[in-house]
Structure 1
Amino acid sequence: MAPIAPPAHIVTPSQPSVPVSVPVSAPSAPSSLLSRSQKFIEENQRLILLGCAVLAASGAGYYLYSSRSGGSAGGSSSSSKDSTIGGAGAGSSSSASKKKKKNKKKSNSKFVEGEGDKGPLLEEIEQPKSEKKVEKSDSATAPASTEKEMDFLADIPDAATLSSMDDTARNNLGSSLKDRGNKLYSKKDFQKAVECYTKALEVSIRKDAVFYSNRAACYTNFSPPEYAKCVADCDEALKIDKTYVKALKRRATALENLGRDEEAVRDFTATTIIERFQDEQAAMSVERCLKKLAQKKAKEILETREPKLPSPTFISAYLSAFRAHPKPSLPENPSQGDQTLLLAFNALEAADYTHAVTFINEAIDQGISWKDGEAEAHNLRGTFKFLIGDSEGARQDLQKSLDIKPDFVQSWVKIASVHMELGDSASAFGDFEAAIRHNADDPDIYYHRGQVYFIMQEFDKAIADYDKSTALDGTFIFTHIQAAVAQYKQGNVGSSMAAFRRILKEFPDKGEPSNYYGELLLDQQKFQESLERFDRSIELDKERKPRNVLPFVNKALALFQWKQDIVGADNLCKEALDIDPECDVAVATLAQLSLQQGKIDEAIKWFEKSAQLARTEGELINAITYEHASKAQVHFLKNYPEFAERLSQMAQGM
């Protein structure tokens, strides 16, 4: 979770309220009304996670199909194997089909959760009526049945005799061995079932995928399970029939148990698409494996990656949420550390954030000679640590600042945000109370506490704090904007729009009100007016340093929503990146727009870039998740090209 939210990020109306005990991040700059970019990404999240995107020929983009109609989407169907009773290729009876349909949910659950000691439901678990009669007569003594089955295996002709048999006879013998293996499997005699399936493969001329798949099922029930052998057998089954869903599921489950989550994602993704998205358990497995994969890779990256500042847009949004206060005045005889501290604040003022970080670290290492300067130094270093995503390091620096100067209100406000990020809401509200005790007339306290109430969706309390902040200082634009946003979130659309019109008049030279008002208009599908507002914001901020690029992204989304102008939207996001190469919102939006154009390889590159820009573990996990989900799509379309056209036809019919 991001420590703060720059102007284009807020909690959208569809999100649940945040319990106080849950770690949340208080946005500092005013939240944008509906976070067009964030909302767009959230609406496409399920699409990416399931790996079920397809470019619709109609130009409507990617769809997640949830159709419940039967049949496969393309390629050779595995339905004949799923319903057979005897050997492969046997037709399905109506009773067998009904029984399969009845047990479908149970079967899916077993494959997803792991086949376990009870074993999965085999494709050919039932026997013909003639065999059932024999089974019934032998049911009184299970050992006798086992002995008979062993004798049956011992009576298999030797190699010389097999070579003299015609193909039909050998195939029939193989089918009988497979049926016998199924009976042994149902009795949980997995070792002897393996022997039967193995012998069936030896004697049969026709190598049926079912033989391999059923033997694979046995291996998962060994103690301990032999998942590697399961994978090998499923490989062979899928060489014979690459759309054999049960083999795909079985291999995916085995791969997951072997810790090969990336490969498991591919198989579960293929299963989900081939089964026309009817298997919810497989879809859930895609998400589960992606989560494990992303968490593992994120941990590896974070252990070796150097801390990195977010984009200038993000940093500027955070810093602008605090009213400016004078740079610290140097003492009469400043030390080297004192002078370096002043360089840090000069760099900060010039928006040279990289040098500001370097100077503040050097100043603290060199030593600062006076208390107020030392408190300012730890406040600034704690701020940058918070922006980098090092919440615990930020907490330590801000606490050091308060230990030196207990009445430093800005440090109290900032440490409150850190405590919220760390999930300690009680301490956060305690920090605000402490700040009020030291200076009840500081308007920043109420603005930032209002932001916390806002993301918790306690809008009445948020508005009360915004009003208090405005009463203390009416010149701070963000309290006006955020109060109007909160009114909109409450459903007071008329009051909110009136408030924005007033703000536009009071702050005619500021670009922020036009940007946020544009989002409000866009949410109401007043596209032309919203575009005019985004253009106005871009024009007003063209001389700003660093320049706010979020209106470019918002305009891109407006064009896409209104006219499906993907090219125009794409160009606007790239223009934003020309100005701010590390704007994470622009990168994330470009990834989604690439998917909309069917450019999955390009989307993967943008997701990789998003991972590079991620500050926190949560952001990194999300980016890696999307990246590998998209890679699973590419892998599927490469191995199942026949499905691309079929899926496109399905999209047009939705």
Structure 2
Amino acid sequence: MAPAALPQRGPTALGSLPATPGNVATLPPTAPSALLTRTQRWIEENQRMLILGAAVAVVGGAGYLLYNRPPARKPRGPSGAAAGSGSEGESGTNGAGGSKKNKKKKSKKAGGGAKDGFLKGEGDDGPLLEEIAPKEKVQEKKDTVPEHLEGVPSAAMLKDLSEKERNDLGATLKDRGNKLYSKKDFRKAVECYTKAIEVSIKKDAVFYSNRAACYTNFSPAEYDRCVADCDEALKLDHNYVKALKRRATALEALGRDEEAVRDFTATTIIERFQDEQAAQSVERCLKKLASKKAKEILETREPKLPSPTFISSYLAAFRPHDKPTLPENPSQGDQTLALAFDALGAADYNHAVSFVGEAIEQGISTKEGQAEAHNMRGTFKFLIGDSQGAKADLEKALDLVPNFVQAWVKIASVHMELGDAASAFGDFEAAIRHNSEDPDIYYHRGQVYFIMQEFEKAIADYNKSTELDGGFIFTHVQAAVAQYKLGQVGPSMAAFRRILKNFPDRGEPSNYYGELLLDQQKFSESVERFDKSLELDKNRHPRNVLPLVNKSLAIFQWKQDVGQAEALCKEALEIDPDCDVAVATLAQLSLQQGRIDEAIPWFERSAKLSRTEGELINAITYEHASRAQQAFLKNYPEYAERLSQMASGMQ
């Protein structure tokens, strides 16, 4: 049987690519993965779990509720989730369970009756909306009193009624409101519910919720009234699901998506994850909320380079080439460009960016130098997430030097990130026309095929690249991973053992081999490989911290040792404070232990480290899904035990 698909994430020769129809996976930095980790697979496979709140981490360390909800049952009773969804005839509690048939109650006259001349109510349990309203004894019609409010005493006369008589009168007015609601006479229904609230001594959550249902049939300008009434209903009965759903619907209509997510999440959990409509509403509101916030952030935040681990992994996917030689009489721009290449070689990426920008402004004397400068600046723009800016610089480089193969390959990366696979393949064909013997072309085209899950084509391109240059480690590694993806586990593992033998001084193969061992749950062997990778690369600059994160995940899965797992990720962040993989792993470990309060800041930090809009939306989505879960456990602590039981049953 073929192994489970390895997750793909992080920087690559193609950058960190968003999931689009033309780009079905995100490729790892230089070989199998910057994160062939269990965290990213867990995120990808359980995204909806987090979003829906089914992943509420339970107090007491019961762990996540795996997203394995029972089949959705048919909704029972009026949903209250959308305009015109109905009002309640039952009194008091949420009305979320039980069929309409079982909910019907026979109307009966309230004991004691009302004073002569006033309405006789139906007691605390009025009929459902679909039932015929009770017969009423009313005063003779007066021209000054609307028919639906006949028999309602003045405020002064109310003082003469007993508490029971006033409560009975409120119940009867509610019944009238229900009848008017069924006729879609929402304005009059509101008047009845309002009078019911005014006359009753015992306040009933149903009165407020039913009036809120009326407001959802008015213009959006009156949805604030719906929210206010639902607030009152929930003060009286905070488990009132219909009021929660009505408030959530109104909040969403008002553009208050964060609050809507909170209420839809609470509804989903209280309903035991069987309300599919509420679950879909959580996802919809989260998507709108995250997209809006991401747009606002991208419009205002300053461009920032990703972590050194990310940049070095990207650059390592290209075979090095000599920096341009200085002319006999170099210009200021020529000399500054040389400084940019020196900084790049020293992994001083911030200075490299600064110098190359200055060199272009100062003026470079040769076309080749200008092309190199635009290629470098375009590369950094791509790494920052400015795909359009990167495209402009790379096109400029190709205008200056049309046979600049590396620029062709990099612009293919940009086109893939922009979702334009056809143009990317056209770029590779252009590169081949200029130099068919350049091995980088085939390696990076193989990466594109890998992204598209066309693994056999990817292997063919990797092999072609290896034929042209067998000393480039990542073509060997990536070919072995592609075999693994095809289910050829034995040949893949054998290929890795050959790579380890042929490149004994390199740490990357041990890290990637360890990831495959971890995927097969060979924990002890995987940890040995991660340790070997760390030992071999301990003097590397910048140091590769991904083996630390991978070891963290292996330790957690193997021994459930959260303390050691978190310590390893924090060690990675001491070396590389901008390592997004370590941050994401710490967020998940916090959630796994039920520490939502700790997870939220990690998700916020993850958002700050996001390179692309897609990554930013993803981080914001998880942050606000966690905030909704946090709010639920604060507002409904009594559900912690139920969630714990459900988690135990689903694991």
Q: Which residue of the partner structure matches residue 36 of structure 1?
A: 38
Q: Note the C-alpha offset of 1:152.
A: 4.5
The one-letter amino acid paired with 1:198 is T
Q: In 1, Cα distance between the equivalents of 2:349 and 2:373?
A: 15
Q: Which residue of the partner structure matches residue 139 of structure 1?
A: none
The one-letter amino acid paired with 1:328 is P
1:168-220 CA distance string (max 9 Å, x none): 11111110110110010000000000010001111111110000000011011
- Is the counterpart of residue 202 in structure 1 residue 198 in structure 2? yes
8 A Cα contact 2:88 2:128, kept in partner? no
Q: Which residue of the partner structure matches residue 152 of structure 2?
A: 156
Q: Which residue of the partner structure matches residue 179 of structure 2?
A: 183
Instruction: Describe the shift of the 1:345–1:48 C-alpha distance in structure 2 as closer, same or farther (beyond 3 A).
Output: same
SS in 2 for 1:164: coil
8 A Cα contact 2:367 2:400, kept in partner? yes
Q: Which residue of the partner structure matches residue 113 of structure 1?
A: none
Pick the aligned partner of 2:279 from 280, 283, 293.
Answer: 283
Instruction: Describe the shift of the 1:148–1:274 C-alpha distance in structure 2 as closer, same or farther (beyond 3 A).
Output: farther
Residues 510-525 of structure 1: pairs in structure 2 closer than 5 A:
510-525=506-521
Ranges in structure 2 where 5+ consecutive residues have no aligned partner: 1-7, 74-79, 81-85, 105-125
8 A Cα contact 2:378 2:394, kept in partner? yes
8 A Cα contact 1:9 1:35, kept in partner? no
Pick the aligned partner of 1:5 from 11, 20, 33.
Answer: 11
Q: Which residue of the partner structure matches residue 46 of structure 1?
A: 48
Instruction: Describe the shift of the 1:625–1:171 C-alpha distance in structure 2 as closer, same or farther (beyond 3 A).
Output: same
Q: Note the C-alpha offset of 1:6.
A: 4.6
Instruction: Describe the shift of the 1:25–1:62 C-alpha distance in structure 2 as closer, same or farther (beyond 3 A).
Output: closer
8 A Cα contact 2:336 2:359, kept in partner? yes
- Is the counterpart of residue 599 in structure 1 residue 595 in structure 2? yes
Q: Which residue of the partner structure matches residue 100 of structure 2?
A: 96
Q: Which residue of the partner structure matches residue 457 of structure 2?
A: 461
The one-letter amino acid paired with 1:596 is Q
Instruction: Describe the shift of the 1:505–1:574 C-alpha distance in structure 2 as closer, same or farther (beyond 3 A).
Output: same
Pick the aligned partner of 2:384 from 382, 388, 393.
Answer: 388
Q: Which residue of the partner structure matches residue 406 of structure 1?
A: 402
Question: Once the two structures are aligned, what percentage of the paired residues are identical?
Answer: 73
Residues 150-299 of structure 1: pairs in structure 2 closer than 5 A:
150-223=146-219, 226-299=222-295
TM-score, L = length of structure 1: 0.87
Q: In 2, Cα distance between the equivalents of 1:555 and 1:295?
A: 33
Q: Which residue of the partner structure matches residue 619 of structure 1?
A: 615
Q: In 1, Cα distance between the equivalents of 2:98 and 2:307?
A: 62
Moved more, 47-56 or 523-532: 47-56
8 A Cα contact 2:90 2:206, kept in partner? no
Q: Which residue of the partner structure matches residue 335 of structure 1?
A: 331
- Is the counterpart of residue 352 in structure 1 residue 355 in structure 2? no
Instruction: Describe the shift of the 1:161–1:521 C-alpha distance in structure 2 as closer, same or farther (beyond 3 A).
Output: same
8 A Cα contact 1:3 1:418, kept in partner? no
Q: Note the C-alpha offset of 1:265.
A: 1.0
> Over aligned residue pairs, what C-alpha RMSD do you find?
3.0
The one-letter amino acid paired with 1:319 is L
Pick the aligned partner of 1:583 from 579, 585, 589.
Answer: 579
Q: Note the C-alpha offset of 1:640.
A: 1.6
Pick the aligned partner of 1:645 from 637, 641, 646.
Answer: 641
1:76-111 CA distance string (max 9 Å, x none): xx9xxx9974554799997635589xxxxxxxxxxx
Q: Which residue of the partner structure matches residue 63 of structure 2?
A: 61
The one-letter amino acid paired with 1:435 is A
Q: Which residue of the partner structure matches residue 118 of structure 1?
A: none
SS in 2 for 1:539: helix
Residues 431-580 of structure 1: pairs in structure 2 closer than 5 A:
431-580=427-576
Q: In 2, Cα distance between the equivalents of 1:93 and 1:415?
A: 58
Instruction: Describe the shift of the 1:457–1:95 C-alpha distance in structure 2 as closer, same or farther (beyond 3 A).
Output: closer
1:532-589 CA distance string (max 9 Å, x none): 1111111111011011111111111111111111111111111111111100000000
8 A Cα contact 2:87 2:213, kept in partner? no
Instruction: Describe the shift of the 1:321–1:90 C-alpha distance in structure 2 as closer, same or farther (beyond 3 A).
Output: closer
SS in 1 for 2:159: helix
- Is the counterpart of residue 379 in structure 1 residue 382 in structure 2? no
Q: In 1, Cα distance between the equivalents of 2:604 and 2:589?
A: 15
8 A Cα contact 2:87 2:209, kept in partner? no
Q: Note the C-alpha offset of 1:374.
A: 0.5
Moved more, 415-424 or 373-382: 415-424
Q: Note the C-alpha offset of 1:413.
A: 0.5
8 A Cα contact 1:466 1:480, kept in partner? yes
The one-letter amino acid paired with 2:542 is P
8 A Cα contact 2:294 2:616, kept in partner? yes
SS in 2 for 1:441: coil
1:419-451 CA distance string (max 9 Å, x none): 111122111111101111111100000000000
Q: Note the C-alpha offset of 1:31.
A: 2.8
Q: Note the C-alpha offset of 1:55.
A: 3.8
8 A Cα contact 2:405 2:435, kept in partner? yes
The one-letter amino acid paired with 1:30 is A
Bigger helix share: 1
8 A Cα contact 2:553 2:565, kept in partner? yes
Q: In 1, Cα distance between the equivalents of 2:319 and 2:263?
A: 54
Q: In 2, Cα distance between the equivalents of 1:586 and 1:289?
A: 28
Q: Note the C-alpha offset of 1:461.
A: 0.7
The one-letter amino acid paired with 1:126 is L
8 A Cα contact 1:27 1:451, kept in partner? no
TM-score, L = length of structure 2: 0.87
Ranges in structure 1 where 5+ consecutive residues have no aligned partner: 72-77, 101-122, 135-144
8 A Cα contact 1:607 1:623, kept in partner? yes
Instruction: Describe the shift of the 1:615–1:88 C-alpha distance in structure 2 as closer, same or farther (beyond 3 A).
Output: closer
Pick the aligned partner of 1:126 from 118, 129, 139.
Answer: 129
8 A Cα contact 1:37 1:553, kept in partner? no
